[in-house]
């Protein structure tokens, strides 16, 4: 039996919300989540994820940046 998976990348808004869910208290304590994030909102938290977060937070920051680039195309 095989399980099909899709490799559809998540959009920046989904990744933004995940960042606050997973790393909010630890890495994003100085930021406030917005209900409808723009690519600029998403990019604004990537530095905090890198500096204040762990390896997983840094990976998420990279994913957010890639998703924002895709959104601008």
Q: If the chain, 73 residues long, is cut into consecutive pieces of 10 residues, what is the mean pLDDT of each piece?
A: 61 97 94 96 97 96 96 86
Output the pLDDT for position 6: 57
Output the pLDDT for position 1: 45
Answer yes or no: is 3 within a domain: no
Domain range for 47:
12-28+35-71
Measured in degrees and rounded to the nearest 5, phi and psi for residue 53 equal -95, 180
Answer yes or no: is 2 within a domain: no
Answer yes or no: is 7 within a domain: no
Q: Look at the chain and report how many structural domains it folds into.
A: 1
Q: Which residues contact 56 (CB under 8 A, 6 or more apart)?
A: 22, 23
Answer yes or no: is 59 within a domain: yes
Residue-wise pLDDT tens digits, 2-11: 444 456 789 9
Whole-angstrom CA distances from 35 to 17, 23, 32, 38, 65 are 9, 17, 10, 10, 19
Answer yes or no: is 4 within a domain: no
Answer yes or no: is 24 within a domain: yes
d(C-alpha 3, C-alpha 56), whole Å? 26
């Amino acid at each position: 039996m095989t399980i099909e998976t899709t490799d559809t990348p998540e959009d920046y808004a989904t990744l933004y919300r995940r960042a606050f869910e997973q790393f909010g208290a630890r890495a994003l304590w100085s930021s406030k989540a917005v209900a409808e994030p723009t690519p600029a909102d998403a990019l604004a938290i990537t530095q905090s994820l890198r500096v204040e977060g762990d390896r997983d937070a840094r990976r998420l920051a990279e994913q957010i940046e890639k998703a924002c680039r895709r959104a601008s195309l």
